[in-house]
Structure 1
Amino acid sequence: MADIVAARVPERTWRSEARAVKTVWNRDLIRFLGNRGQTMTWLVQPLLFLFVLGSGLQTLSAASTGGFDLKTFIFPGVICIAVLFTAMISAASLVWDRELGFLREMTISPVSRTSILLGKCLGGASIAASQGVIVLALAGLVGVPYDIGLLLGALGLLVLVAFAVSAFGMLVAVTIKQAQTFTWVMQLVVFPVVFLSGALYPVSGLPGWLEVLNRLNPLTYAVDAMRHLVFDHLDVSEAARQTLDPGVTWFGWQVPALVEVGMVLVLGVGMLALAIWRFSRAE
């Protein structure tokens, strides 16, 4: 008769949970860095918006904006778009891990599901932020100065946006079981969010129904805060600023940039908490 060997499962501690978060985080970064072609693929669409769409719109809008370069105008929005696309695609790794069976191995390990999802969220946010930094490095090509205050502020904001969007991506990913379905849902969600955020056009003078959708869109506030930051470091006429950077209002009240930043943070934390709750209850 074979001897029975007792196995002891180590107790969970904050150190073991921190190691689990770090391990999952590192795994996603290693997987991303191992596929360098993916970096450029994810950047193609935002760069097309910036240099192709921006140049095309410039010929139509020069008269109404006092000759202000539209590439400079959409630059803050393109940073947010780059972060959004990358964070949502990164979230798909959770769905692939489920299909390949790796997620089951992680969930039966002696770590909490909260640590697993937090590591995935941090991994996705890190990857998305790195893509945003690449776009930010192109600021000089669109007339945005390399001012240290501007760069640090934009870096902090894009990291916050990366976290919030990654949390949203995790919320979608824990709900969907198949990778193909996630791709469809991502397209269904991402493109309306982008085009309703004002990232590619001014939000002043919108039709009533579009203005309501714009105000309900969480990305609107990230784009507006980023645009305020950039425009504060530009030499822009008052007329052009009123047209291109009017800010977001609620029933006539101008929403301060700090409130917008706070909303992005609160939404990110809230969506991550909801994703963790759903993931913890999943079988």
Structure 2
Amino acid sequence: MTVSAALPLGGALRARPRLLHSVRTVRVVWQRELLRFLHERVRMGTTLLQPLMFLFVLGAGLGGLTHRAYGVDFTTFVYPGALVMPVLFSAVMSAGSIVWDREFGFLREMLVAPVGRTAIVVGKALGGATTATIQGAVVLALARAAGVPYDPALMLTLLGEMALLAFMCACFGVMVAARISSLHAFMGVSQMAVQPLFFTSGAMFTLTALPGWLAVVNRFNPLTYAVDPIRRAVFAHLHVSAAARAHYAPGVAWGGRQVPVWAELLIVAATALIMLAVAGREFRDTQ
């Protein structure tokens, strides 16, 4: 074997252990996040309380004040928003473990260990996405109570879309937590960012006839492109008229042209990867 052929082969052999080491690091951090979630039963209960109140109390209350347009119950309409809520809040707040670890010194031990910081970030994001998807699946199990059928194709579609949403939100949380040293500051910043994102995403209202300023905010909100595919999937499996689908799930339009679902999901995935890259860079610079 010539020297020129041996050099690339040697580089590949050296790269393989590094890759395996990074994968092992991601798995360990992911498992730690999952175990922490399973031991925090209060957190699980409080996170699920919000969407249940949103679905059965707010949905029923507002449904009594509004008429049933096209024969669709208001609780059915807000069900996609109730799916998004636990995923969004749980995924973002899961990144608070980074701040907690920093306050108690455990993060410093992780940073001085012979592991890649990017692998730690990926593990944190995947861990937060997993726990958020689990909580979203609990609300998904209540579909029948909201008038949504237990169609296997629909359930799998919603679960996949929620997992992608959870990953984007977890990347956002890790990006925010990378530079914050106080848990109280993280909670405040997260709430300040998450609530406007949720309320302008279309989780609580239809995208038809929005005021001009709200339509602009809605189109530039990345959460919009996760809420809309979920709502469109739900209404595609309901026995309602075409007029009802056009009213309640019209889709996101740019310049009069509707954005296809695959493009919306691509926007969510691209946003997640961009925020993950930013979080990785911020994490590499942290001490």
The normalised TM-score by structure 1 is 0.93
The reply on whether 1:158 has 2:162 as its aligned counterpart is yes
Unaligned runs of 5+ in 2: 1-15
Could you tell me which amino acid in structure 2 is paired with residue 100 of structure 1? F
Alignment of 1:129-140 (within 5 A): 129-140=133-144
Alignment of 1:112-131 (within 5 A): 112-131=116-135
Counterpart pick for 1:172 among 171, 176, 197 = 176
Deviation at 1:187, TM superposition (A): 1.1
| Aligned equivalents of 2:35, 2:243: Cα separation in 1 | 48
Show the counterpart of 1:147. Answer: 151
Show the counterpart of 1:228. Answer: 232
- Encode CA deviations 1:67-97: one digit per residue, 9 max, x unaligned: 3111111111211111001001101111111
Alignment of 1:17-166 (within 5 A): 17-63=22-68, 65-166=69-170
Show the counterpart of 2:261. Answer: 257
| Aligned equivalents of 2:241, 2:62: Cα separation in 1 | 19
Counterpart pick for 2:19 among 14, 17, 29 = 14
Could you tell me which amino acid in structure 1 is paired with residue 56 of structure 2? F
Residue range with higher mean Cα deviation, 236-245 or 78-87 = 236-245
| Aligned equivalents of 1:25, 1:198: Cα separation in 2 | 31
Show the counterpart of 1:211. Answer: 215
User: What's the Cα RMSD here?
Assistant: 1.3
Deviation at 1:15, TM superposition (A): 1.9
Identity, in percent, stands at 49
| Aligned equivalents of 1:76, 1:60: Cα separation in 2 | 20
| Aligned equivalents of 1:190, 1:266: Cα separation in 2 | 19
Aligned residues: 272
Show the counterpart of 1:7. Answer: none
Contact 1:83 1:158 in 2 (8 A): yes
Contact 1:125 1:166 in 2 (8 A): yes
The normalised TM-score by structure 2 is 0.92
Show the counterpart of 1:185. Answer: 189
Unaligned runs of 5+ in 1: 1-10
Deviation at 1:12, TM superposition (A): 6.2
| Aligned equivalents of 2:217, 2:224: Cα separation in 1 | 10
Contact 1:125 1:163 in 2 (8 A): yes
